[in-house]
Amino acid sequence: MLRWYLRRGFWNVIGWGKFKMNKPLEIPLPPVERHLIEPKPMIEVIPEVPLKNVMVCARADIPREERVPRNTAFYRLQVWLYTSFLSPMQPGLPQIDADPQAAVDQAFTRLHRKQFRPPELPAEYLGIADLGSLAVRGPFACYTTRVDDDTWEWDLRILDDYEYHPGLLTLGSRVFFGVDPLRRSLEARRIECVLGSIEPTDSEWEQAVKIALCAASTHVSLVRHFNWVHLAGGAQLAIATRNAFSPNHPLCRLLWPYIFATQQSNDIVTRGQMARGGDFESIFSFTFKGMCQLFDESHLAYPHLVNDPEVDGDARGVRDAGFDTPTQDNLEALFDVFHRFVCNYLEIYYPRNSAIEDAETLGWLAQLNTLVPNGVGVTPDNVTWTGLARLLARQLYLVTVQHEILGSYMWDYQLWTHRQPARVYSDLRREPLDVYQRLVNANFNLNVHRRELMSDFTYLALDDSAKAAMERFQAELGELQAEMDSKPRPVWRLDPRALEVNINA
Ligand SMILES: [Fe+2]
C-alpha cells in the first residue's frame, strides 16, 4: 500500500498542477495568412493510436498561433509515465470504500478541493438509480428514443461487439421505458442485458440498472464526447473553417473563437487518453484493441444532427410525447439563443432569404461535407439562407453545449460508481483504488478553467453591426441565465454560465 500511496500522491500532484496552471485561452485575431490543413488518417499521424477512419491534423501541421510547446512536452512526459515504473495503475489493489461518499472523499483530496468543488449527488442516485428520470434529465437523455406509441428505449447493444478486459461483464444492453400519463414521466420497465431480460421486480434489477448506466456513461465518454464532439465534429469544423475562409470573411470572424486551438488541444488530449495505458483503456471496460475498434467503427456512424436539439428530439420521438422533458427543454432554450444570434449576424452580410453564392462559404460547405463523416446535411447544392443559419447554430452548439453536457458536466454523475460503475466486474466487486482514482483525476481535469462562452469577443467583429449582434447575443445569454437563477438549480440543469466557447482542453 505504501507504493500505492506514493504513486497516488504523485499523480494527484500532477492533476492538481495541470488544473492550477491552466489559464483561459487568449484568442487572437485570425492570422493574415491562411493556414491550410490537410488531414491524415490517425494511424499515420499518431502511430501509437492506430485508427484508420479518423482523420486528424498532423502535429507538424498545427497552426503556429495554436501551438503551446510547454503543453505538448508535458503531455509527452505524461504519456511516457503511463507505462513506466510510475504508472498511475497498480495491479492487485483493494476495491474502493463501500460507502460512496468515503470513496469520493479518499480520491478527491484536499489538494483537488483547493481547485474545484466536490461532485453533487443527482437525486436519481439516492436509491437504486431511477432510469425513468434519467431518461429525461441529464446526460443520458440523448439516448431516449421512441420504439412505438407506448415504448421508448435506450439501445446500447452495440457495446457487446468489442474486446473487454478479463473479468468484466459485457455492457451491451437495452432499456425499455413506458409512460406514466398521470405523472407525465417515463419509467423503466425492462432491461435486456448479459443477465437476461430483467424486470423491476426481479432480484437482479439493481445490477441490470448498473449495467445500463455503465453502458450509457461509457458510450457518452468514449463515443459521444471524444469521438463525435472532438474528432468527428469539432476537429473537422476547425479544419474546414481554417482552410476555406480568408481572415476577414464574416463567417471566419463568427466561428473563430469556437474553433481556435482545436488542433493543438486534440493532438495532446488524443495521446493522453487513447494511447496504451491512457485514461480510456485504464478506466473503461475495453482493452486497447477493443477501444480502438469502437472508435474506428462508431466514427463512421457520426450523426451531425444530434447537434440540433429540435431535429434530434423529433427524430427520437421525445418532443410533445406525453411526458415532461426537462433536459430537452433546457437544450432547446440554449439552442434558440445561438440560432437567434446567428440569424442576426448572418443578416448583416446576406439579406434574409437571399441566395448563398459566395465562393468561400460554398467552399466551406464542400469541405465540411467531405471531412465530417456522413456530412452536415447542408451542401453547396442545397444551401439556403435558413439552412446556413441552422447549420451555423448547430456548429456553435456542438462545441459549447454538446461538449459541456457530454464532458465536464459528467462530474456530478460519473464519480458515483455505486450507481453508475466505470466498469462492471463479473464477481460484482467495486472498482479497485487505481481505476477509481484515474476516473476522478480524468474528470477533475475536464473541469479546468477555460475561456467562457459568456466573454466579450467583439474585438473579432468586422463592423459596428456585427459588434451589436455579438453584444445582443451576450445579453440574451445573460437573460436566460437570470431566468434560470430565479429557480433553484437542479444537478441536471445546464446553465449558459457553465459553457465554454470551444473544445480546447
Ligand atoms: Fe472535451
pLDDT (tens digit per residue) in 358-370: 999 999 999 999 9
3-state SS assignment for residue 57 = coil
pLDDT at 17: 93
**Cα distance between the two ends of the chain:** 33
Tell how far the Cα of 407 is from the centroid of ligand 1, in angstroms: 6
Tell how far the Cα of 231 is from the centroid of ligand 1, in angstroms: 10
Q: Could you give phi then psi for residue 40, rounded to 5 degrees?
A: -130, 160
At position 389, the amino acid (one-letter code) is: A
Please state the separation of Cα 149 from the chain's center in Å.
31
**Contact present, 393 and 338 (Cβ < 8 Å):** yes
What does the alpha-carbon distance between residue 128 and residue 418 come to, in Å, rounded to a whole number?
Answer: 9
pLDDT at 91: 96
Round the average pLDDT of the chain to a whole number and report it. Answer: 97
- pLDDT tens-place string over residues 287-322: 999 999 999 999 999 999 999 999 999 999 999 999
The protein residues having their C-beta less than 5 angstroms from ligand 1 (an ion) are 407
Measuring CA to CA, how many Å separate 326 from each of 106, 134, 155, 285, 333? Answer: 33, 10, 21, 31, 11
Query: In which band, very low, low, confident or very high, does the pLDDT at 195 lie, cut at 50, 70 and 90?
Result: very high
**Contact present, 276 and 288 (Cβ < 8 Å):** yes
Tell how far the Cα of 206 is from the centroid of ligand 1, in angstroms: 31
Q: What percent of the chain has pLDDT over 90?
A: 98
Tell how far the Cα of 348 is from the centroid of ligand 1, in angstroms: 32
Tell how far the Cα of 406 is from the centroid of ligand 1, in angstroms: 8
**Contact present, 500 and 477 (Cβ < 8 Å):** no
Beta-ladder partners of 452: 500
What number is the average pLDDT over the span 320-343? 98
CA angle in degrees (0–180, nearest 5) for 249-252-256: 150
**Contact present, 477 and 484 (Cβ < 8 Å):** no
Kindly tell me if the per-residue pLDDT of 350 is higher than 80. yes
What number is the average pLDDT over the span 147-158? 97
Computed over its alpha carbons, how large is the radius of gyration of the chain?
A: 22
What does the alpha-carbon distance between residue 301 and residue 379 come to, in Å, rounded to a whole number?
Answer: 19
Tell how far the Cα of 82 is from the centroid of ligand 1, in angstroms: 20
Tell how far the Cα of 269 is from the centroid of ligand 1, in angstroms: 9
Tell how far the Cα of 447 is from the centroid of ligand 1, in angstroms: 10
What does the alpha-carbon distance between residue 217 and residue 197 come to, in Å, rounded to a whole number?
Answer: 21
Place of cell 507504493: 3
- Burial grade of 332 (CB within 10 A; 0-12, 13-18, 19 or more): middle
**Contact present, 291 and 86 (Cβ < 8 Å):** no
Diameter over CA atoms, the chain: 70
**Contact present, 427 and 263 (Cβ < 8 Å):** no
- pTM here is 0.97
Tell how far the Cα of 446 is from the centroid of ligand 1, in angstroms: 7
Kindly tell me if the per-residue pLDDT of 505 is higher than 80. no
Tell how far the Cα of 491 is from the centroid of ligand 1, in angstroms: 20
Tell how far the Cα of 248 is from the centroid of ligand 1, in angstroms: 28
Tell how far the Cα of 403 is from the centroid of ligand 1, in angstroms: 6
Tell how far the Cα of 410 is from the centroid of ligand 1, in angstroms: 11
pLDDT at 35: 84
The dihedral sign for the CA sequence 331, 332, 334, 338: positive
**Contact present, 492 and 124 (Cβ < 8 Å):** no
Tell how far the Cα of 268 is from the centroid of ligand 1, in angstroms: 12
What does the alpha-carbon distance between residue 427 and residue 404 come to, in Å, rounded to a whole number?
Answer: 34
pLDDT at 437: 98
Kindly tell me if the per-residue pLDDT of 497 is higher than 90. yes
Write out the three cell numbers for 189: 420497465
**Contact present, 230 and 446 (Cβ < 8 Å):** no
Tell how far the Cα of 160 is from the centroid of ligand 1, in angstroms: 25
- pLDDT tens-place string over residues 214-265: 999 999 999 999 999 999 999 999 999 999 999 999 999 999 999 999 999 9
- pLDDT tens-place string over residues 440-450: 999 999 999 99
> What length is written for the chain?
505
Angle between helix 262-274 and helix 288-299 axes, rounded to 10 deg: 140
Kindly tell me if the per-residue pLDDT of 4 is higher than 90. yes
- pLDDT tens-place string over residues 115-125: 999 999 999 99
3-state SS assignment for residue 462 = coil
CB atoms within 10 A of CB 28: 12
Tell how far the Cα of 368 is from the centroid of ligand 1, in angstroms: 20
- pLDDT tens-place string over residues 156-176: 999 999 999 999 999 999 999
Tell how far the Cα of 192 is from the centroid of ligand 1, in angstroms: 31
3-state secondary structure 169-228: CCCCCEEEEEEECCCCEEEEEEEEECCEEECCCCCCHHHHHHHHHHHHHHHHHHHHHHHH
Tell how far the Cα of 12 is from the centroid of ligand 1, in angstroms: 20
Tell how far the Cα of 197 is from the centroid of ligand 1, in angstroms: 35
Tell how far the Cα of 474 is from the centroid of ligand 1, in angstroms: 23
Q: Are strands 174-180 and 196-198 parallel, antiparallel or unpaired?
A: unpaired
Tell how far the Cα of 225 is from the centroid of ligand 1, in angstroms: 6
Kindly tell me if the per-residue pLDDT of 379 is higher than 90. yes
**Contact present, 285 and 165 (Cβ < 8 Å):** yes
Tell how far the Cα of 314 is from the centroid of ligand 1, in angstroms: 26
Q: What is the DSSP string of 114-169?
A: TTSPPPPPPGGGSSS--HHHHTTSSGGGGG-EEEETTEEEEE-GGGGGSPBPTTB-
